[in-house]
């Protein structure tokens, strides 16, 4: 319950501060967490080593891992800032949005849209920016405990018109209805938070990958569109949408889901490798250890 009270207090005390101030606080908090949380630090470094490859030096891996912790802290800064931000100004001055035509084309054609990505930069800020274009989105999120924490985070995120629901049975049913009506769903696909993922090849090793985005797109006939929201200097974001993944449909549903998930993971690999420090995941994604550092690497 303390997480709920801490977040609520942060919103009340800090939520009116400029994003620059909040990010300064997050920078310090992220560095403190990097130093204090040894277990999480090892897991993040293993993730970074896998993404960056064995040729990356230990110094480079540590630098990227520290940035992961900072970006995770910036998530909370964005969360308490979002309800009070000027949405039109944010979309005009702070968000570089490309590829929205992929979404609009599908919606005009009456197809649903499943937008998916990773905990990279901050996809929620890009989602907020879509509201300035008149789009309203259903977002499935990781169920949080206690319930009060989950409800409060959804309250913070929903101020600009989007609907947030946990990715549980009820949330999935709502998502199917949304897509069959020709609406839009956002769901992330890089962390197996529900323990229902499938072992998939990811950066050269098996990882448990959630297939929900692919599965629901195929069942409803929706377009599956990857999207990325990278942080830029000056407290800005670059949101890149699409193009849609060409979905394989051979008639073998389970095999097709896996084949399409592999196509999606290929997009993930390219984007994560380009800027690994923006992947704000503090849990180990692979359970087979990390690749060995090259000989002569700085320890």
The domain locations on the chain are 2-278
Would you say the C-alpha torsion 142, 143, 145, 148 has a positive or negative sign?
A: positive
> Residue 288: pLDDT above 90?
no
C-alpha distances in angstroms, 72 versus 55, 148, 149, 231, 279? 25, 21, 17, 12, 8
| Beta-strand runs (E) in the chain | 95-98, 113-117, 138-141, 163-166, 184-188, 198-202, 205-209, 223-232, 236-241
Q: Is the pLDDT of residue 181 over 90?
A: yes
Q: What is the mean pLDDT of residues 129-150?
A: 94
pLDDT at 290 over 80: no
Q: Copy the structure tokens of residue 237.
A: 């974001």
Give 235-272 pLDDT, tens digit per residue. 999 999 999 999 999 999 999 999 999 999 999 999 99
Higher pLDDT pick, 289 / 153: 153
Q: How many CB atoms lie within 10 A of CB 115?
A: 28
The CATH classification number of 2-278 equals 3.40.1130
Residue with tokens 């849209």: 113
Residue 159: its pLDDT value, please?
94
Rounded average pLDDT over 21-27: 97
CA distance 166 to 142: 6
Confidence grade of residue 296 (pLDDT, cut at 50, 70, 90): very low
Q: pLDDT at position 291, please? A: 55
What is the reported pLDDT for 297? 38
Cut 0.85: pTM above it: yes
Burial of 36 (0-12, 13-18, 19+ CB in 10 A): exposed
Burial class (CB in 10 A: 0-12, 13-18, 19+), 270: exposed
């Amino acid at each position: 319950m303390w997480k709920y009270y801490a977040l609520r207090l942060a919103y009340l005390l800090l939520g009116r501060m400029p994003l620059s101030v909040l990010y300064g606080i997050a920078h310090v908090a992220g560095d403190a967490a990097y130093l204090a949380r040894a277990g999480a630090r090892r897991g993040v470094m293993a993730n970074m080593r896998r993404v960056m490859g064995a040729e990356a030096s230990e110094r480079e891996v540590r630098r990227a891992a520290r940035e992961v912790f900072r970006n995770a802290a910036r998530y909370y800064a964005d969360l308490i800032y979002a309800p009070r931000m000027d949405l039109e100004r944010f979309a005009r001055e702070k968000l570089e949005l490309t590829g929205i035509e992929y979404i609009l084309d599908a919606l005009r054609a009456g197809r649903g849209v499943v937008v998916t990505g990773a905990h990279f930069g901050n996809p929620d800020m890009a989602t907020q920016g879509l509201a300035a274009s008149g789009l309203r989105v259903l977002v499935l999120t990781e169920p949080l405990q206690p319930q009060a924490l989950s409800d409060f985070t959804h309250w913070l995120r929903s101020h600009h018109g989007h609907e947030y629901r946990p990715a549980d049975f009820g949330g999935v049913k709502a998502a199917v209805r949304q897509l069959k009506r020709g609406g839009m769903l956002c769901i992330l696909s890089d962390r197996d938070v529900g323990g229902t993922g499938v072992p998939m090849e990811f950066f050269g090793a098996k990882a448990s990958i959630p297939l929900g985005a692919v599965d629901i797109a195929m069942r409803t006939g929706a377009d599956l569109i990857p999207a990325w929201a990278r942080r830029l200097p000056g407290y800005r974001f670059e949101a890149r949408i699409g193009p849609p993944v060409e979905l394989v449909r051979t008639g073998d549903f389970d095999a097709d889901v896996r084949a399409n998930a592999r196509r999606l993971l290929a997009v993930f690999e390219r984007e994560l490798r380009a800027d690994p420090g923006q992947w704000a995941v503090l849990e180990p994604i692979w359970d087979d250890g990390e690749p060995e550092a090259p000989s002569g690497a700085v320890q």
